[in-house]
């Protein structure tokens, strides 16, 4: 399709980074030309008119300081991207080592120039496509000035519906799998963090199991595990892209596929924090992984982001928070084979890490909630270790030896009393329960008595473990 081919050509427009940033001359010329096509203005204009229209834009939004010469660069260079045509360009004498004509030559010849005919026709007919292309250029090159450049480049009418509606896909679009997304919107169809064909980054979250949702409980923020299936994750590829989106405060697309469901473009999101924790790779081996904390936003336009997101970003926190102290050599041994590395020592260490986390929680913000959730791993892991993979309810009638695909026990770690009623992540008030006992504790008619028993049990186990006594 010619539309897609045009989108791809625009995507390839990636001016070299020089000095303190990308040169934005060509994106500005293209935006201006797309706006004109969408408004039904003539395809071509003489150089002098284009120069005069472009110069103020370049001065304001591309930090251009060299007057008419600054307009000459994109006017000539955009031809190489096959997005621009200068009439009679073959006949013009070139200078600067044959790279471009001089200002004097252009002023004298004053050639007509504009978008290639086929592209112009496409954009003039299809304003949705024009809006989509303009929107993607604004997002890629002018994240700090989107609204101002929209106005200055004459795109206000084209983008009046909002930039989120100009871009494709629209929030809520569903696809059965990654292949069908790639068929419609390009991209590699495989990577977890990867741009689609308009050049804007997408993250794909695929719940492999029913309990794998990465929403942080009690809030709409998301803990997204970084790219890299095996081995310690590195700040390269998708993770590097996330890091630069975080630094530049750009919105990206969040796709989610619940267990057994379809892929949906759920929301635009902003990266508000990066953490590092222990995880398990696809090969079953422990490794360090990144956790990108994502906050959903309704539109890529910064002005519309909620205060809590603005606050989190204003904190300007680009450090990688390490949660690596929360876990050591955590192995859940099958019942009956005591761990040679003394689980008791490990239990004490994790309990202390959980207490340290409690002690550092001073401020109350969304980021505190995130930290609480992510760092509560220490307390959870301590309890799992203490359980030795068995439900801690003494009267359990469940399936103690069942395991998940990853070989982990089917246990849910829970606060005996509702955490919202106070109390932190202390292993002595937490228990590991099988799904059945967990349900009995939450919904069973005998839950009051059960809770009393479980609390007693948790304290006894905690004391025994802390003192290195086998119960």
Interface region with Zn ion, contact rule CB under 5 A, candidates 150-158, 218-226, 398-406, 424-432: 398-406
**Exactly one of 398, 441, 458, 462 binds Zn ion (CB under 5 A); which one?**
398
Question: From the CB of residue 76, how many other CB atoms can be counted at a distance below 10 Å?
Answer: 21
Contact of 290 with 275, CB cutoff 8 Å: yes
Classify residue 51 by burial, with Cβ atoms within 10 Å: 0-12, 13-18, 19+: buried
Which of 296, 409 has the CB closer to Zn ion? 409
Q: What is the DSSP letter of 376?
A: T
Which of 322, 402 has the CB closer to Zn ion? 402
Q: How far is CA 204 from CA 3, 36, 144, 255, 257, in A?
A: 25, 36, 25, 5, 8
Residue 391 as a binder of Zn ion (CB under 5 A): the answer is: yes
Residue 169, preceding peptide bond in cis (omega within 30° of 0): yes
Residue 396 as a binder of Zn ion (CB under 5 A): the answer is: yes
Question: From the CB of residue 117, how many other CB atoms can be counted at a distance below 10 Å?
Answer: 11
Interface region with Zn ion, contact rule CB under 5 A, candidates 82-90, 95-103, 187-195, 383-391: 383-391
CB of 400 to Zn ion, least distance (A): 8
Interface region with Zn ion, contact rule CB under 5 A, candidates 258-266, 368-376, 391-399, 423-431: 391-399
Binding map of Zn ion across residues 419-438, x = CB under 5 A, - = no contact: ---------------x--x-
Classify residue 65 by burial, with Cβ atoms within 10 Å: 0-12, 13-18, 19+: exposed
Q: How far is CA 88 from CA 66, 102, 271, 276, in A?
A: 25, 15, 48, 57
In the region spanning residues 24 to 43, those forming contacts with Zn ion, defined by CB under 5 A, are none
Return the biggest CA–CA distance within the chain: 95
CB of 351 to Zn ion, least distance (A): 23
CB of 249 to Zn ion, least distance (A): 47
**Exactly one of 393, 415, 416, 461 binds Zn ion (CB under 5 A); which one?**
393
**Site residue total, Zn ion (CB under 5 A):** 6
Which of 398, 409 has the CB closer to Zn ion? 398
CB of 395 to Zn ion, least distance (A): 8
Residue 154 as a binder of Zn ion (CB under 5 A): the answer is: no
Of 432, 424, 419, 421, residue with least CA distance to 461: 432
Give the interface with Zn ion as residue ranges (CB under 5 A): 391, 393, 396, 398, 434, 437
């Amino acid at each position: 399709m010619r539309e897609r081919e045009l989108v791809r050509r625009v995507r390839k427009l990636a001016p070299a980074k020089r000095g303190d940033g990308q040169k934005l001359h060509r994106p500005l010329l293209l935006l201006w030309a797309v706006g004109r096509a969408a408004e039904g203005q003539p395809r071509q204009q003489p150089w002098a008119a284009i120069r005069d229209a472009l110069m103020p834009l370049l001065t304001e939004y591309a930090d251009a300081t060299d007057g008419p010469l600054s307009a000459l660069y994109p006017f000539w260079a955009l031809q190489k991207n096959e997005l621009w045509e200068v009439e009679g360009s073959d006949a013009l004498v070139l200078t600067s080592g044959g790279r471009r004509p001089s200002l004097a030559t252009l002023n004298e010849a004053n050639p007509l120039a504009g978008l290639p005919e086929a592209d112009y026709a496409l954009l003039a007919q299809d304003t949705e496509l024009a809006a989509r292309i303009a929107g993607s250029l604004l997002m890629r090159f002018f994240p700090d000035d989107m609204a101002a450049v929209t106005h200055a480049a004459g795109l206000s009418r084209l983008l009046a519906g909002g930039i989120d509606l100009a871009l494709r896909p629209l929030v809520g679009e569903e696809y059965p799998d990654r292949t069908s997304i790639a068929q419609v919107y390009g991209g590699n169809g495989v990577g977890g963090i990867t741009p689609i064909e308009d050049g804007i980054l997408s993250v794909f979250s695929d719940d492999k199991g029913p309990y794998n949702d990465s929403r942080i409980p009690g809030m709409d923020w998301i803990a997204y595990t970084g790219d890299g299936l095996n081995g310690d994750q590195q700040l390269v590829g998708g993770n590097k892209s996330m890091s630069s989106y975080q630094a530049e405060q750009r919105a990206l697309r969040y796709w989610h596929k619940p267990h057994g469901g379809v892929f949906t473009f759920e929301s635009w999101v902003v990266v508000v924090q990066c953490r590092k924790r222990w995880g398990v790779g696809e090969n079953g081996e422990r490794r360090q992984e990144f956790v990108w904390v994502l906050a959903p936003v309704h539109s890529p336009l910064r002005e519309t982001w909620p205060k809590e997101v603005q606050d989190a970003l204003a904190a300007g926190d680009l450090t990688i928070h390490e949660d690596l102290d929360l876990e050591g050599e955590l192995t859940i041994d099958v019942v009956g084979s005591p761990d040679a590395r003394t689980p008791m020592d490990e239990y004490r260490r994790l309990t202390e890490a959980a207490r340290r986390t409690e002690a550092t929680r001073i401020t109350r913000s969304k980021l505190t909630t995130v930290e609480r959730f992510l760092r509560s791993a220490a307390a959870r892991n301590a309890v799992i270790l203490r359980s030795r993979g068995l439900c801690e309810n003494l009267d359990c009638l469940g399936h103690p030896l069942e395991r998940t695909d990853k070989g982990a026990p089917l246990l849910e770690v829970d606060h005996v009393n509702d955490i919202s009623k106070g109390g932190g992540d202390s292993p002595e008030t937490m228990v590991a329960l099988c799904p059945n006992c967990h349900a009995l504790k939450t919904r069973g008619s005998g839950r009051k008595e059960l809770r009393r028993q479980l609390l007693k049990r948790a304290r006894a186990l905690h004391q025994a473990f802390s003192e290195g006594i086998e119960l």
